[in-house]
Amino acid sequence: MERTILHCDCNSFYASVETLLDPTLAEGPSAVCGDPESRHGIILAKNEQAKAFGVQTAETIWQAKRKCPDLRLVAPHREEYVKYSRRCNELYLQYTDLVDPFGIDESFLDVTGSMHLFGTGEQIADELRRRMREEVGLTISVGVSFNRAFAKLGSDYKKPDATTVFSRENFRERVWPLPANTLLYVGRRAAARLDQLGVHTIGDLAACDPAFLHGIFGKLGDTLLRYARGEDDEPVRSFYAEREVKSVGNSMTFAHNLLGEEECRMGLTALCDNVGRRLRARGMVCQTVQIGIRDPEFHNRSRQMTLERPTNATRVLFETSLALLRAHWPMDKPVRLLSVTAAGLLPESQSCEQLSLFDSPQQAQTRQKQRQLDATVDALRQRFGNRSVIFANSVRKPKENEKKDEKEP
């Protein structure tokens, strides 16, 4: 059966939410930036008036102010973005359960099964746009097509507050002339390589020989060819579907009871090291960190914390676990078992990458360093084995009984 898929994308999401919070921002050029106090803060989003002055995302405040001296700057309100993101998805869920968020401000919807109730894909798209405007106060652009890849192109085709339909009848005239780099999963490197090969449009890509593309891009080549030809058959997952792996955890029972913060840090280091490595190997990040503690009398306690941003950095896992332990365990009590579990897993590629834009330059640098350290350690271990790198505070190996734990549905 022919599917009808929508891709809904909020227009200037961050700037629009900020304007809802403070309507006076709409009166002139304004921008959201990481650290409004610092000249070196980065522009994260701008409104239409600021755009007219040539203000660009990712440039420094200093550069932006030179183009637009009256630019008003506001700090980001992350919790509000998350709240509005939820409200958007709640509206989509009134039309279908098959709502698959693809970043904080965009979602795929499969409305094939609900068209007998709500009309054609185009009618549903128009109604969603109107209701989003009236009930939430945001505008969205919607692409309507028979597959995800073309629906995604459609939401980008005309903005703001527009519906674009790419059908089986019109996709050759309308989709194929578009630049190849606008297609889903064509990153900067793949785009440059395609360009070298003389593949400039999606139509050029569709006309490529499968073996040729596979030879150059491997599996990605197969995917891109399918997408360009309108053969993307990947389903839109239910909003309520369990994501494949729910958690990654590790626990240790210690040969002698741990006593005091020093010894607990040692245990947590080893556990977080293991959990972080497994998350990274799967390309996942976690939204929640949970610790479990058991004392010699077999009393158990577990506590968890939701992170401000998803992570798979060993350092962040460690700092969060330690903070939880300090807050919920008297350090003069002996510990027999410790566990660390990373839950609320998301694919790293989809984890609201945009949010990293909110880092101040210092935070971005720290995060970059953590990533490099983790990547180096992972690479060394892959070549030389797991014991080849051991963190200084886990050298006294406390292990008696280590348990890895992965919960699948």
Positions annotated as catalytic residues are: 106
Closer to Mg ion by Cβ: residue 152 or 277: 152
Binding to Mg ion (CB under 5 A) within 10-69 occurs at: 10
Kindly state the smallest distance separating residue 161's Cβ from Mg ion, in Å: 12
The phi, psi pair for 32, rounded to 5°, reads -95, 135
Kindly state the smallest distance separating residue 107's Cβ from Mg ion, in Å: 11
Cα 73 from Cα 31, distance rounded (Å): 5
Closer to Mg ion by Cβ: residue 12 or 145: 12
Closer to Mg ion by Cβ: residue 140 or 186: 140
190-199 long-range contacts, CB within 8 A, separation 24+: 190/217, 190/220, 190/224, 193/217
Kindly state the smallest distance separating residue 106's Cβ from Mg ion, in Å: 6
Q: By CB under 5 A, which span of 4-12, 130-138, 192-200, 337-345 interacts with Mg ion?
A: 4-12
**Count of residues interacting with Mg ion (CB under 5 A):** 3
Q: By CB under 5 A, which span of 1-9, 41-49, 110-118, 144-152 interacts with Mg ion?
A: 1-9
DSSP secondary structure string, 281-350? HHTEEEEEEEEEEE-TT--EEEEEEEEEEEE--HHHHHHHHHHHHHHHS-TTS-EEEEEEEEEEEEEGGG
Q: Does residue 232 touch Mg ion according to CB under 5 A?
A: no
Q: Does residue 9 touch Mg ion according to CB under 5 A?
A: yes
Cα 279 from Cα 271, distance rounded (Å): 12
Kindly state the smallest distance separating residue 99's Cβ from Mg ion, in Å: 16
Kindly state the smallest distance separating residue 285's Cβ from Mg ion, in Å: 21
Closer to Mg ion by Cβ: residue 10 or 271: 10
Cα 350 from Cα 284, distance rounded (Å): 9
Kindly state the smallest distance separating residue 140's Cβ from Mg ion, in Å: 8
Q: Alpha-carbon dihedral of residues 128, 130, 135, 140, nearest 10 degrees?
A: 60
Closer to Mg ion by Cβ: residue 104 or 266: 104
Which residue from 35, 105, 110, 273 is in contact with Mg ion, where contact means CB under 5 A? 105
Do 105 and 88 contact (CB within 8 A), yes or no? Answer: yes
Q: Does residue 263 touch Mg ion according to CB under 5 A?
A: no
Which residues share a beta bridge with 254?
A: 399
Q: By CB under 5 A, which span of 103-111, 173-181, 258-266, 387-395 interacts with Mg ion?
A: 103-111
Q: How many CA atoms lie within 13 A of 14 on its CB side?
A: 24
Amino acid symbol at 342: A
Q: By CB under 5 A, which span of 101-109, 167-175, 211-219, 338-346 interacts with Mg ion?
A: 101-109
Tell me the three state secondary structure of residue 179. Answer: strand
DSSP 201: B
Closer to Mg ion by Cβ: residue 10 or 15: 10
Q: How many CA atoms lie within 13 A of 30 on its CB side?
A: 20
Cα 256 from Cα 272, distance rounded (Å): 20
Q: By CB under 5 A, which span of 9-17, 217-225, 263-271, 367-375 interacts with Mg ion?
A: 9-17
The phi, psi pair for 28, rounded to 5°, reads -155, -175
Cα 144 from Cα 152, distance rounded (Å): 8
Kindly state the smallest distance separating residue 234's Cβ from Mg ion, in Å: 21
Tell me the three state secondary structure of residue 21. Answer: helix
Cα 149 from Cα 155, distance rounded (Å): 10
Closer to Mg ion by Cβ: residue 103 or 119: 103
Binding site for Mg ion (CB under 5 A): 9-10, 105
